């Protein structure tokens, strides 16, 4: 019996350089290269510490890295259960149409079920029609009634500086 040509496994600390390469390739594809400030050190600190901020799955095709999925848990107040949020899914152009994306999403869905998650969510750029068609072919539904908001940079710093001290002290408890 021949081994499955696609292997999906948890990332290891020695995958940090590969993860950063995938992030940069994804940013190029999404026309957001200018936004990447991640480094190997910052990824190592965030992903392979005592309380990781996120987890990563690496997909390999014939033993070579082909893609990744970076995810973390969120929480649904309506379900009173945690969910799995897929921050990034990327498959190298040379490995697309081989089932790598499906393998990553299948493993993520299995993790969500194993961990008792009530749902799995992610965002996709509106212009990425091929990704949207792919996700919908798996049964995912677009949430068109929701708009994503983001607070970053000076706007985040400014709003954060307005926070009463007593509130910030309570959050850590």
Q: Is residue 162 part of a domain?
A: no
22-42 pLDDT tens trace: 999 999 999 999 999 999 999
Average pLDDT value for the chain: 92
Q: Is residue 90 part of a domain?
A: yes
Catalytic residue, candidates 29, 85, 90, 135: 135
Q: Is residue 52 part of a domain?
A: yes
Q: Is residue 154 part of a domain?
A: no
Report, as an integer, the average pLDDT of 88-100.
95
What radius of gyration do the chain's Cα atoms show?
Answer: 18
Number of domains in the chain: 1
Q: Is residue 153 part of a domain?
A: no
Report, as an integer, the average pLDDT of 43-56.
98
Q: Which long-range contacts (CB under 8 A, 24 or more apart) does 149-158 make?
A: none
Told to judge if 135 belongs to the known catalytic residues of this protein, a careful annotator would answer yes
- The CATH number linked to 51 is 3.40.630.30
Report, as an integer, the average pLDDT of 68-82.
97
Q: Is residue 134 part of a domain?
A: yes
Report, as an integer, the average pLDDT of 111-124.
96
Range of the domain at 73: 6-147
Q: Is residue 53 part of a domain?
A: yes
- pLDDT given for residue 162 in this prediction: 83
């Amino acid at each position: 019996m021949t081994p499955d040509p696609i292997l999906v496994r948890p990332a290891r600390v020695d995958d940090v350089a590969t993860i950063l390469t995938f992030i940069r390739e994804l940013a190029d594809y999404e026309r957001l290269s200018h936004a990447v400030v991640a480094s190997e050190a910052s990824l190592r600190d965030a992903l392979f510490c005592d309380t990781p901020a996120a987890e990563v799955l690496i997909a390999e095709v014939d033993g070579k890295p082909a893609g990744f999925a970076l995810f973390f848990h969120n929480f649904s107040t309506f379900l009173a259960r945690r969910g799995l949020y897929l921050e990034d899914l990327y498959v190298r152009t040379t490995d697309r149409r081989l089932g790598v994306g499906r393998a990553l999403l299948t493993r993520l869905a299995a993790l969500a079920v194993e961990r008792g998650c009530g749902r799995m969510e992610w965002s996709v750029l509106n212009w990425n029609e091929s990704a949207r068609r792919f996700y919908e072919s798996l049964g995912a539904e677009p949430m068109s009634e929701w708009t994503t908001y983001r607070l970053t940079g000076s706007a985040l710093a400014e709003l954060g500086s307005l926070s009463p001290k007593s509130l910030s002290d309570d959050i850590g408890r």
